[in-house]
Structure 1
Amino acid sequence: MHGLLRRLFAPRWQHPDPEVRLKALNQLDPQQPEQQQALKQLAQDNDSAIQLAALRALDDLPGLVATFPEHRQDDAWFNAVCQCLCGKEGHSDLQQRQNIVVKLTEPRLLNAIALQGDNLDLRLSALEQLTDDTDLIHQACHNGVAAVRHQAAKRIESEDSLKKLLKEARRDRQVIRQAREKLTQLRNDAEWLADQQAQREQLLKQLEQHANAPWEPLYGGRFRHLEREWERISHPPSVSQEQRFHQAMLSCRKTLHNHETQEQARQQSLTRRAEAERTRDQLLEGLEETLEGLAHANELTVQDIDSLRAQRQLLGQRWQSLSDQHPPSDTAQQRFSQALLRYEQCMDAWQRWQTISSDIETALANHDHAAITGYIKQCAWPKHLTPPEPLKQATALLAAKATVKPSSTSSLNALNAELDNFEHLLERGAFKSASRLYQRLKPSIDALTGDASKPLKTRLKQLGARLAELRDWRGFVAGPKREQLCASIEALADDQHMAEVAVDRHHRQLVKEWKSLGDAAANREQSARFRAASDRIHERLTPWREQLNQEREANLRGREALCEQLETLLDQPAEDADPDVLREIRDKARHQWRHYSPVPREQSEAIGRRFGAVRHRLQALIDQRAEQIATQKRTLIEHVQALQNETEEPLAARITRAKQLQQTWRTLGRAPKGEEQALWKTFRHTCDQLFAQRDAHKQEQAARQQQTLDKLQTIIDEMDSWQPTHAEELTTLETYLSHVSQLEPLPRNRRSDGMQRRLSGIVRAKRDRLSRLEVAHTVQLWHAVLPLVNAHIEADQQALAGEQPFAIDPKEVLGERLPDIFKDAHQLRNQARLATSVPLSDDQLSELEDNLSRLRVHLSLLALGSVNQRDEPLRLAIQVERLNEGIHKERSRPDEIIDILASLMALGPIPSAMWQKEAQEFDNLMSRLARVPQP
């Protein structure tokens, strides 16, 4: 009673009849709060049409889109969602619709929005969500907006799709042009790729031939040319090409490195040889200069002989050590032999002199001319060597005696030699030396008597005339010159505008020229004029010289301060002092030293020696620190070489450590100048070899990934070409998937993502086909047992007519074994017939009709995806049950169909009229389920 009252007084939108609720819904106003709440409740209604009408009345676009997946096959829902998203219905703003479109994944809906949207941005947003080339081709060919067509055509990249687009596009020339240009570009890219590969192969062959060739002068240039040509090719090489390239590069670099090592060794050998030659030349020049000095010395002493002997001993030792390293040249050996010969002559003469030195001194004291003559002959002192003082005195004594005896031939020869020297001095213009020699020779030659002395006197007279002529000429030239110098110095003294520096320089030059004239044409008047002008210049330059002295003192103090700073630095040097900084300090110190110039002459030598000592200490510190850095860099090279040879440690960790060692190398300073470049070449070469291992490892890893993707591509192609024809072929699909799982993990790149998307699509398609095949197989089983169903119907009719009920034996009807899926249903049908009392009540008939309709609607939902409008309540109820069952256990479509057919067989006893009413619909549904799409 209460339920009847509630039904009578309840609102019409809560009426059990869906048609009544739908009519009431059309009269509700969403602007009123109570009616809006009613519309929200109707939006949750079990009836699909009522739910759709309520959502459209509420203009609830998010709710409509959220519920759409449940009614994907319902055209009314699709049209409603499409109209609302396209802006043809509802009042949703464009931004909201765009946000919803961005999240959509349904291709059918996205295609419709791209074709019918009311805004260009909305259409483009829908187009961006489309990924299938078929959809993009459809949009590029049939969309009414040119911008959408062009954007869709721009996203098509594959050659097959572009050919299809070029074939189907007829209305837009720009789309056709884009497709044709992309196809042309693809062909050009293919040709370009083939050309790049051919170029790389040709370069590889040339580089491999070059790697096997021996070194020649153009080897390095050709190698760099081939390397540049390889880098110029923009397309990346394959793994095998990269490995061949690195192997050839290593071989070429090894050849160049070996040649550089040999060339460096040769250059070092030449340098050492040149250094040895210079050392030999210096030693020989020192000995030769010493021997020449002994020949021109005033006298020969014991110290000179001891010094000569020590120098000869040092020369012998150094010459022998240098000869052991590098043999001397013929010229150097000849010079060495001549110097040793002169040395031996000198030492032999000295030994002879030592034996007679005391005797000749005694003879000199006794004026024993005969003994002196004998001792001199016994000594046989060389003419080119300066004699000792006693021997010189003895020779002079004998010469004086020869002067007393002019008939002596040896004395005349000596005087003739002196005259030759006198003539030579006159020819050179050496007036002073010639005048002194003339004054010494004239008394000796005038004292000579006899016919033999006349040529000497005549020649002395002639040479004396030439000396007088030279004296007159000097006076003739010196007179005007002295007058000119006097005028010049007086003009310089009167010039008040010339700078002091220029005045001092000109004054010094004039004084120097005045002194060079000597006593030629000298007179007191000119000397007094010159001296007076010079004094005036000195008086004028006194302030400037005082200022210059102050500057020199300041420069001296600056140099002393510079030396003190450097000494302080060197007394407490930093342990980790950078040699580059020390070199900079050295260079700046030299610059400052030159800046502090001039200094007082008295202290210049002392401060120069002090700065030289400091600079030597600073250079020694630089060399010490540079050598320490060189040691550290050699240690770094050893570490890198150890990393290169290490095989147990991972390559990535070794590369990281190598980069850290490179950073450490950069923080260090420079090694000694001749060693830094060699160390850097070795370090860089070792690091390059280690990085080449990394590159080879990367290429190998890329090759493995490429092989994995190639295998996956092969499996995908096989799956795509495989078309299952029986439901039992599910194991084949599982086998393919197990092969794919063995290849995981896959590399992450565009190719892998595209292949995985394609694989997912193929798997979905194959599973769907297998499901359809399983459904078709189930329907075939139903058709096979359909005689048994008809037998049950006839047995039900007999039982309902009042006859004795009986059980049906499937073997008698089918002649074969009943499928397992229908055994339980067959037994339930027999049991229901045997247990049913006749006649059936109205409630039983109504229940049978409801169950039969429910099975029909459920089967129609699975076969067609939709039902008639009158069956909407049953559809909603079935949907709810399916959702509740899906929470606990997901059921497949074939399983649901099997359950429906089993329930249909188990349903009974049922009147024949009721069965015939639904039988045709069941047959139609079965025929639809039995259809399998063509592969």
Structure 2
Amino acid sequence: MSGWIQRLFTRRWQHPDPRIRAQAVARLDPTREEDRHALEQLIDDDDAEIRLKALAKLHDPAWLLERLSAGSDTPQLRLRLIDLLVGRETGITLHERLSLVERLDDTQLLSDIAMQGDNQQLRLAALARLSDEEALVQQACENGIAAVRHAAAERVKSEEGLTRLTRHARRDKNVARLARERLNQLRADAAQVVQAHAERERILQALEQHAQHTWEPLYAGRYRHLQREWEALKNLPSAEQERRYQDACLLCRKTITDHEAQRHVHEVADRQREDAAQTRQSLVEALEESLQGLRLGERLGTQDIDSLRAQKRLLASRWQALSDTHPPEDALRQRYDHALDEYERIGQAWERLGQKAEALQQALAEDDRACLAALHEECAWPDWLPPTPLLERVRNLLHEDSAATSLSHDQRLQAFERDLQELERLLQQGAFKGASRLHQSLRQRAEHLPESRLHPLLGTLKRLGAQLAELRDWRGFVAGPKRNQLCQAITELAADDSIVDAELDRRHRQLVKEWKELGDAAADRELSTRFRAASDRIHERLAPWRETQNRQRERNLEARQALCEQLEALLEQPDPAADPDALRDIRDRAREQWRRHSPVPRDQAEAIGRRFGRIRHGLQALIDRRAQEIASAKRDLIEQARELQTSFHSVGQRAEQIKALQRRWRGLGRAPKGEEQALWREFRTICDAIFASREAERDNRAQRAKAQLDAMQALIDRIDAWQPDTSQDTTLLDQAIAEAESLEPLPQGRRSEGMRRRWSGILRARRGRLERLAVQEEVERWKTLQPLLNAHLTADEAVLMGQEAVDVPSDDTLSGDMIQAHLHRNAARRHPPTDTEVEETLTRLRVHLALLAGARVSPQDDPLRLAIQVERLNNGLGRELTLAEELHGVLREIFATGPISKSLWMREASELDTLLTKLLRLPPS
């Protein structure tokens, strides 16, 4: 089919010619289904006018919105939708438009509806769907309804958006004020976050430093104080800060736990020391009781001496074992030494008597009184010690005729009565051995006293004897089965080959100790023989093991002797500046080493133990002396700190000096235990007071800095919102600059740097505006001089035509140096320069004005431009002129130049006006 036939049968709205399609659109009826379908296709036509006409026929905004979302996004469709939704066309209710707006997501369409809507509710609904901050700032600045502007301003959150609002919201001062308040609040919140972060960093650094310190009396209190400060902060810490905080807390708790464990160990050691002291006291009391029983006895026999020796060996062994762990008190050691001295005197007397016993027997047999007296004198038997049977026979023989040496009956009765009271006391205490000896002595002494005078005391003696017999029976009743049990146990122990030597020795010693503790209660010869035979078999079996133990004891003894020698060398030449803590460490390690080298040979254990005890006491005395010296030095530091607290130094200097004193304090070491805590508490109180004053000064400085920054911020906001209207407003700007200089120097920080940058930018903008205003005012004043300038040009033209020179009268528009320029112009007509000079002057002034306006000059004027620039540089060496002042000078010279021909002025005037117009451009506000 040919082209013209095809066009003949094609519908007009589908015609290739846009004019015909446009005519067809006007005939389409949207109420008809076919025409409406055509209109719906024509809204996507290639011709914009046809699309606009087709859209004008459609009145369903819901369908148009569907087409927009389906991809038919054209400017004409958007304009039609805006016309329908903002209410420019009737027929669509407000409720329908609100429901459509609530489903919209197109930012530009919503922004246009919020800006052009015919109803406040419609605009607010469109604004509520907006989420782009740029669109919200535009609505807050340009919307015609105040409620919409305020709602949009309320939703601007970012600092950049609020800053734009403060600069561009000139239409609504409330919006600008709200933006400034929220911007200030936002910046204050940011500063507060920075300050809180810095505060957390300060607490973290203090806590981390505290975690590295050793324990001191106020360590836990300082840790809890820092912990409370951390928890009191309201903002949340960062993950890194939380990790550092937990690590520091873990170290602090470890230090506190270690100290608590150490304190527990010390408490356990104190309890063990008390137990050892009680055990030693019971041992000393037992030895003293045995010695007292010997003194109170009537006769002293071999069995008594053997029993005393066995008890002394057992006591010395246990005493040494306890002393290796904990040193005894001086009073208890003196009692022990006194008891040992008495034991030694008894032993020495017994040894002397044993050496003379055979000679005494022979002298008694020969009845040699002189030899007996000499031998008795050589024995030197103590008066307080009961004699042996042999010694009593010698004394009776030597003193049978000496009445002076015998006691009177009264004295003997008094002594007898006192011993009865002592016997009763011993029975009440259950001391069987002492009571038995004293009872035997009383019975023997009763035989030599008058019966008549002794009769009242015999009843008491019989009663106490009955109690003693009852006690003996009771001991025998208890001791009998116990002896059988011990005999059977040691027999089984001797026959058991599976027990290791150490355990065998321990159990054997325990059985022997229990056997000896029974004494003579329920004594049985057969059981004793069996017990002794089993014990001998165990001794034979343990002989190799004991030989090994003896060699180990010898090595231990050598090690203890070497340790004593080292400590004695230390005590002979002590370091006057020795650290008590180092000495305490030496003492503790020496004690540990002493315990490790145990046991030692029994015959030398006591001697080496006493030697080590003396060394330990000397070392402790050295520690105490050095600790007292440290305590004295710490008292001096406390006095220095107290003087520093009342000194006139600044708070920062006092804080630094007190830190130096704290370092010296830590370097001194520890004072005596009870005194160290009191000294540290006093010193720490002074330190806390100085640091508290520093913190108060910091808070005051921070408050002053905050007030200074707030004042500067208020000044910046005020000058930022202010726009000068005339050049005379320079005074206000100078006042603001003076006020800013009075607030300097600002505190160091990013906020201060930001304020300085912003203030510098505002000052440049305001100075630039004032300079442009001054230029504008200068140009305006030049315009007011145009009538007078035209009069001068007319007079100049008359002079140049050969007429007589006439002065142009002045008017009220002239002021300042323009009057001198006016007079100079009148004088120049009377003595006119050449036309070339006038032309050159005008050319120079035009080039100068072009330089001020930043305009280009012709190539032939380049040398003149360079000369003017050099002249400007030379003139600016003293004080650089402002643009307005320099423009005023150029205009003054133009006004004073003459006479000027009309043709020359017409040629120069148009370019001068162009340059002045260019100078009138003001910078954007």
> What TM-score, normalized to structure 2?
0.52
Corresponding residue for residue 466 of structure 1 = none
Distance 2:190 2:664 in 1: 48
Q: Tell me, yes or no, if structure 1 residue 157 matches structure 2 residue 146.
A: no
Distance 1:532 1:574 in 2: 59
Corresponding residue for residue 429 of structure 1 = 476
Q: Could you tell me how far 1:232 is from its partner in structure 2? A: 2.3
Change (3 A) 1:540 1:414: closer
RMSD of the alignment, in Å? 5.5
Paired residue secondary structure (1:384): helix
What letter is aligned with 2:701? Q
Q: Tell me, yes or no, if structure 1 residue 835 matches structure 2 residue 837.
A: no
Change (3 A) 1:718 1:673: same
Corresponding residue for residue 105 of structure 1 = none
Q: Could you tell me how far 1:610 is from its partner in structure 2? A: 0.9
Corresponding residue for residue 904 of structure 1 = 894
Q: 1:692-731 to 2 correspondence within 5 Å? A: 692-731=692-731
What letter is aligned with 1:776? Q
Paired residue secondary structure (1:741): helix
Corresponding residue for residue 397 of structure 1 = 448
Checking the alignment, whether the CA contact within 8 Å between 2:297 and 2:441 is kept in structure 1 is no
Corresponding residue for residue 799 of structure 2 = 799
What letter is aligned with 1:825? A
Q: Could you tell me how far 1:294 is from its partner in structure 2? A: 9.6
CA deviations 1:782-818 (Å, max 9, x no partner) are 33333332222222222222223x141433xx3x484
Q: Tell me, yes or no, if structure 1 residue 649 matches structure 2 residue 660.
A: no
Corresponding residue for residue 251 of structure 1 = none
Q: Could you tell me how far 1:879 is from its partner in structure 2? A: 5.3
Corresponding residue for residue 231 of structure 2 = 232
Distance 1:484 1:755 in 2: 99
What letter is aligned with 1:613? R
What letter is aligned with 1:620? A
Q: Tell me, yes or no, if structure 1 residue 734 matches structure 2 residue 734.
A: yes
Checking the alignment, whether the CA contact within 8 Å between 2:630 and 2:670 is kept in structure 1 is yes
Change (3 A) 1:188 1:230: farther
What letter is aligned with 1:546? E
Distance 1:223 1:579 in 2: 26
Distance 2:862 2:158 in 1: 42
What letter is aligned with 1:899? G
Corresponding residue for residue 753 of structure 1 = 753
CA deviations 1:414-447 (Å, max 9, x no partner) are 5466345434432342699xxxxxxxxxxxxxxx
Checking the alignment, whether the CA contact within 8 Å between 2:298 and 2:441 is kept in structure 1 is no
Corresponding residue for residue 502 of structure 2 = 501
Change (3 A) 1:932 1:549: closer
Q: Could you tell me how far 1:164 is from its partner in structure 2? A: 9.6
Q: 1:262-661 to 2 correspondence within 5 Å? A: 297-298=296-297, 376=413, 383-385=420-422, 395-398=446-449, 415=462, 418-419=465-466, 421-429=468-476, 489=494, 491=495, 495=497, 499-505=500-506, 508=509, 522=525, 527=529, 538-646=539-647, 648-661=648-661
Q: Could you tell me how far 1:604 is from its partner in structure 2? A: 1.0
Q: Could you tell me how far 1:741 is from its partner in structure 2? A: 2.7
CA deviations 1:560-607 (Å, max 9, x no partner) are 111111111101100001111111111111111112212111111111
Q: Could you tell me how far 1:926 is from its partner in structure 2? A: 4.5
Q: Tell me, yes or no, if structure 1 residue 893 matches structure 2 residue 883.
A: yes
CA deviations 1:622-681 (Å, max 9, x no partner) are 1111111111111111111211111x2233332222121111112111111122222222
Distance 1:382 1:538 in 2: 43
Change (3 A) 1:164 1:872: farther
Change (3 A) 1:230 1:892: same
Checking the alignment, whether the CA contact within 8 Å between 1:159 and 1:186 is kept in structure 2 is no
Distance 1:706 1:225 in 2: 30
CA deviations 1:876-928 (Å, max 9, x no partner) are 74255225422441332223322322232233322223323443444455566
Corresponding residue for residue 825 of structure 1 = 821
Checking the alignment, whether the CA contact within 8 Å between 1:791 and 1:808 is kept in structure 2 is no
What letter is aligned with 1:759? W
Checking the alignment, whether the CA contact within 8 Å between 2:828 and 2:899 is kept in structure 1 is yes
Checking the alignment, whether the CA contact within 8 Å between 1:858 and 1:875 is kept in structure 2 is no
Distance 1:859 1:558 in 2: 110
Checking the alignment, whether the CA contact within 8 Å between 1:776 and 1:930 is kept in structure 2 is yes
Change (3 A) 1:892 1:376: closer
Change (3 A) 1:634 1:541: same
Checking the alignment, whether the CA contact within 8 Å between 2:825 and 2:898 is kept in structure 1 is yes
Distance 2:851 2:891 in 1: 14
Q: Could you tell me how far 1:538 is from its partner in structure 2? A: 4.4
Distance 2:411 2:606 in 1: 52
Change (3 A) 1:692 1:771: same
Distance 1:487 1:780 in 2: 136
What letter is aligned with 2:566? Q
Structure 2's unaligned 5+ residue stretches are 1-132, 139-155, 170-181, 200-218, 237-273, 300-398, 424-437
Distance 1:683 1:918 in 2: 90
Distance 2:411 2:885 in 1: 150
Change (3 A) 1:389 1:509: closer
Corresponding residue for residue 27 of structure 2 = none
Distance 1:642 1:192 in 2: 39
Paired residue secondary structure (1:429): helix
Distance 1:582 1:421 in 2: 57
> What TM-score, normalized to structure 1?
0.52
Question: Identity over the aligned pairs, expressed in percent?
Answer: 38
Checking the alignment, whether the CA contact within 8 Å between 1:579 and 1:626 is kept in structure 2 is yes
Structure 1's unaligned 5+ residue stretches are 1-132, 139-153, 168-182, 201-219, 238-274, 301-360, 433-473, 838-843
Distance 1:612 1:706 in 2: 68
Change (3 A) 1:413 1:364: farther
User: Would you say how many aligned residue pairs link Structure 1 and Structure 2?
Assistant: 576
Distance 1:567 1:192 in 2: 67
Checking the alignment, whether the CA contact within 8 Å between 2:641 and 2:658 is kept in structure 1 is yes
CA deviations 1:268-325 (Å, max 9, x no partner) are xxxxxxx9xx99xx9xx99xx999969993489xxxxxxxxxxxxxxxxxxxxxxxxx
Change (3 A) 1:902 1:517: closer
Paired residue secondary structure (1:810): coil
Change (3 A) 1:380 1:595: closer
Q: Could you tell me how far 1:557 is from its partner in structure 2? A: 1.6
Paired residue secondary structure (1:397): coil
Paired residue secondary structure (1:574): coil
Checking the alignment, whether the CA contact within 8 Å between 2:724 and 2:769 is kept in structure 1 is yes
Distance 2:649 2:669 in 1: 30
Distance 1:580 1:895 in 2: 83
Q: Could you tell me how far 1:831 is from its partner in structure 2? A: 3.8
Distance 2:573 2:532 in 1: 57
Q: Could you tell me how far 1:540 is from its partner in structure 2? A: 4.9
Q: 1:738-817 to 2 correspondence within 5 Å? A: 738-804=738-804, 806-811=805-810, 814=811, 816=812
Higher relative contact order, structure no. (Cα contacts within 8 Å, ≥ 6 residues apart): 1
Change (3 A) 1:415 1:688: closer
Corresponding residue for residue 669 of structure 2 = 669
Q: Tell me, yes or no, if structure 1 residue 862 matches structure 2 residue 852.
A: yes
Distance 1:223 1:566 in 2: 40
What letter is aligned with 1:751? R
Paired residue secondary structure (2:748): coil
Distance 1:676 1:705 in 2: 42
Q: Could you tell me how far 1:398 is from its partner in structure 2? A: 4.6
